[in-house]
Amino acid sequence: MDLLPLSDVRLLDGPFRAAQQTDLAYLLRHDPQRLLAPYRREAGLPPVAEPYGNWESSGLDGHVGGHALSAASLLWAATGDARAARFAADLVDGLATCQDARGTGYVGGVPQGVALFERIAAGDLSADSFGLNGAWVPWYNLHKTVAGLVDAARYAPAPTASRARDVAVRFADWWLPLAARLDDDQFAAMLRTEFGGMCEAFADLADLTGRSDLRAMAVRFADRTLLDPLLDGRDELDGLHANTQIAKVVGWAALAESDPDGGWDRAARAFADTVVRRRSLVFGGDSVSEHFHPVDDFRGALTSPEGPESCNTANMLELVRRLLRTDLDPALLDFAERALVNHVLSAQHPDGGFVYFTSARPDHYRVYSQAEVGFWCCVGTGLETYARLGELALGTQPATARDEGDDLLVNVVVPVRATWAARGAVVTLTSDLPDLSTGGEVTLRLDLPAAQTFTVHVRRPSWAVGDLDLAVGGVPVPVAPGPGPYVAVRRTWHDGDVLSWRLAARVEAERLPDGSDWVAFRYGAVVLAARGGSDDLPGLRADDSRMGHVASGPLHALAGTPVVASHADGSDQVHGPLDGMTFRLGTDRGPLTLEPFHALHDARYTLYFPLTVPGTTGERRAALAAAESDDLALAARTVDDVACGRQQPEVEHAFAGDGTWTGATDGVRWRAADGWFGYTLADPASAAGLLRVAYRGGDVDGAADVVVDGTVVGTVTAAAGAGLRHVDLDLGPTVGTLDRARRTVRVRAVAGGCTPRVVGLRLLSH
């Protein structure tokens, strides 16, 4: 299937168009010159504006500039708004100026990026999951710049597009000779550090230019440590940083477009299959604290405030778009619809602002970015995502042998008006999506220059119940099976013909992916949630602090969650729709109102409810309380903590180290070293009296000294293969006296050996 060009599709009035317009307004509140400031600094040019703060001035300098270029180019294509075109032109002109000033082809905002990559090309490589020669994910950062240039080359107006293409090619020509100095082992070592979508970027640039050397570079950026297990049919994703992997796989799908038999497509589909079927929550998001759950244990989804990351879903949608070009997989289409309607629509505030983590913890909440304040990864990705809300609505494919030209496919019934240039047609698709309470009527109007014979393929979602009742001009029409989940209406169409059908929905229950007794509810594709209180939501509008994107307010006890009692899956306890898209859920605490999650903002919410059989709600609630009591007690004593081997916690806590590496065991991340690693933890009230070290055995026996503020406070040891354990080390009265607001903690291998695998460090009060 080929999607209709984004520039030929316009959203019609409704929640999707409103979200797109909100996105455009948010983008335009930013100053292109401030976004360009890191690039000018690295090019040796004098500043013309102050750089933005937050992540834009703490190591990922320039990353949102690349995202903003993609967003402006896409929004120009999607809306035709000249302001977006000017924004894109200003960014491309600024990048070209910086590139010219440097004179090598390099352009980027990475702090001291030129020297960094000269060291790398010389074989001086020190790579960790999120640090490359001490720099925070530099290739991830540069990918945003290159992807922005590629998107500008594809979607921006012609003069800007041409210049963007030239800048991107010059960047590639800077990197190719440097990369040639790295052998395959060195290049693979570099890929241990998150590198974003560089595989995709080089594949797309090869497509734009026809250059085989750029495609060869895309292949070098294909990480075999992820690719080979998937090709062998092995799912080894537990505990991996989710968005790191998704971005890699989008590149494989891009390579498959020019090499369908090279294994790229097979590996990409294997990955998509496991994420969609085994790792995604009801609203389409995946991961907890940025990492994939173990497929048999989703407890973290219910306990952590750091639920699925918006970036993940945006990149999964890009992967799905590419995979649908060659196979109309029903599961991928259902996923795309679910993700758009629920996660994407919900992750932007109606007044502007993007969500990083959508927690699935009952009665928790989300926080939103502020323009010119927050510059997280999900802000950059969010700027792009809402430009593409109408892109999946309609597609085309070659007609059957007896017809000429293309057929039309209706994929997701997002209301749009589109130009179908190949047939000189205007296609208008109308529906009330995401409001399914009105009966689910959909219409497709065809304005044609002359009568034409072709087939319209209408997707039947897996959630639709009953007949579609397809009719033209109110008269029922015969249908035939189409490809995958589609039904086909072939006829001679006339100007003004209107095809109508009905997508009737029902309430369905869906458990967590691990099958545990927690249940969420949908009405068709629309996820329902219970609204909680709107008080006590600290940080609802995030500040510019390093972790301001996390909803750090009080965690409400899981044992307080209303319990659903049912002999079935729980859907029998949901009644409605009552008034619009509201429903009533019966629980042991009385009836609750459920409403569409996508429209629930500025409040706590509950998506998943504990499920039990009638007569056992008390026992279920008691079990929840018992399971959580230790966690709540520990949280009350925690002064600060860091999860080792996880990107954001480590960056927040000023990770440093030498001779150190990360991994995952049973889905749990850890860090080890044959040298040392350390962090700075906060103790603002000088309340910490203990340091809890959680660790497990590695491949060999391990031993490490634990050093706090220069003083050894204890030694931890673990035999090879030993299970997870923890020890509390007394900090003593003199440790930390130089600066009690901060504690510097180091884990240092005993000479000649390596440390155990350290899972976490936690400062505790007595």
Looking at the predicted structure, is the pLDDT value of residue 402 above 90?
A: no
Instruction: Report how far residue 351's alpha carbon sits from residue 668's, in angstroms, rounded to the nearest whole number.
Output: 37
Supply the DSSP string of 577-628, one letter for each residue.
--STT-EEE--TT--EEEEEGGG--SS-EE--EEEE-TT-HHHHHHHHHHHH
Give the residue-averaged pLDDT of 586-613.
Answer: 98
Beta strand 2-3 with 394-398 is antiparallel
Please say whether the beta carbons of 486 and 537 come within 8 A: no
| pLDDT of 740 strictly over 90 | no
Query: pTM for this one?
Result: 0.94
Instruction: State mean pLDDT over 20-30.
Output: 99
- Are 222 and 199 in contact by the 8 Å Cβ rule? The answer is yes
Contacts of residue 328, defined as CB under 8 A and 6 or more positions apart, other chains included, come to: 1, 409, 483, 484, 485, 486
Of these ranges, 509-523, 641-655, 658-672, the one predicted with the greatest mean pLDDT is 509-523
What tens digit of pLDDT does each residue of 192-205 get? 999 999 999 999 99
- The dihedral built from the CA positions of residue 166, 170, 172 and 176, taken in this order, carries a sign that is positive
Model pLDDT for residues 127-155, shown as the tens digit of each residue? 888 889 989 999 999 999 999 999 999 99
Mean pLDDT to the nearest integer, 516-533:
98
CA atoms within 13 A on the CB side of 518: 25
Which two tokens mark 373?
Answer: 């304040």
What number is the average pLDDT over the span 644-673? Answer: 91
Give pLDDT, residue 360: 98
Does 605 have pLDDT greater than 80?
yes
Which DSSP string do the residues of 441-498 spell out, in sequence order? EEEEEEE-SS-EEEEEEEE--TT-BS----EETTEE---EE-STTEEEEEEEE-TTEE
Structural domains in the chain, CATH included, are 31-221 (no CATH), 394-433+441-502 (2.60.40.1180), 638-764 (2.60.120.260)
How much of the chain, in percent, has pLDDT values that exceed 90? 92
Mean pLDDT of 167-190: 98
Q: In sequence order, what DSSP letters do the residues of 536-557 get, joined into one string?
A: S-TTSB--SSTTTTS--SPPPP
Spatial contact of 648 and 655, defined as CB atoms under 8 Å apart: no
Checking if the pLDDT of 464 tops 60, the result is yes
pLDDT at res. 729: 96
pLDDT of residue 651: 87
402-406, 417-421, 654-658, 741-745: which has the minimum mean pLDDT? 402-406
Mean pLDDT of 393-417: 93
pLDDT at 185 (0 to 100): 96
Residue 751: predicted pLDDT: 86
Distance from C-alpha of 102 to C-alpha of 94, rounded to nearest angstrom: 13
| Average pLDDT for 676-688 | 93
Q: What are the tens digits of pLDDT across the range 323-381?
A: 999 999 999 999 999 999 999 999 999 999 999 999 999 999 999 999 999 999 999 99
Residue 68, class by beta-carbon neighbours within 10 Å (0-12 exposed, 13-18 middle, 19+ buried)? buried
Residue 485 pLDDT: 96
For residue 561, the model assigns a pLDDT of 98
- Does 124 score more than 60 pLDDT? yes
pLDDT value, residue 736: 58
Residue 102 binned pLDDT confidence (cut-offs 50, 70, 90): very high
Confidence of residue 755 (pLDDT cuts 50, 70, 90): very high
The count of C-alpha atoms lying within 13 angstroms of the C-alpha of 120, restricted to the half-sphere facing its C-beta, is 29
pLDDT exceeds 70 at position 673: yes
For 450, the token pair is: 């002359």
Residue 174, pLDDT > 80, answer yes
- pLDDT-derived band at 207 (thresholds 50, 70, 90) equals very high
pLDDT recorded at residue 766? 86
Phi-psi region of 373 (alpha: psi -120 to 50; beta: other; left: phi over 0): alpha
Q: What element of type H or E holds 664?
A: strand 656-665
What pLDDT is recorded for position 706?
Answer: 97
Instruction: Identify the pLDDT of residue 737.
Output: 55
Taking only the tens place, the pLDDT of each residue in 241-257 is 999 999 999 999 999 99
- Tokens, residue 502: 């009905």
Question: Average pLDDT over the chain, rounded to whole?
Answer: 96
Give residue-wise pLDDT tens across range 708-738: 999 999 999 999 999 999 999 999 876 655 5
Q: Which of 336, 223, 197 has its CA nearest to residue 272?
A: 336
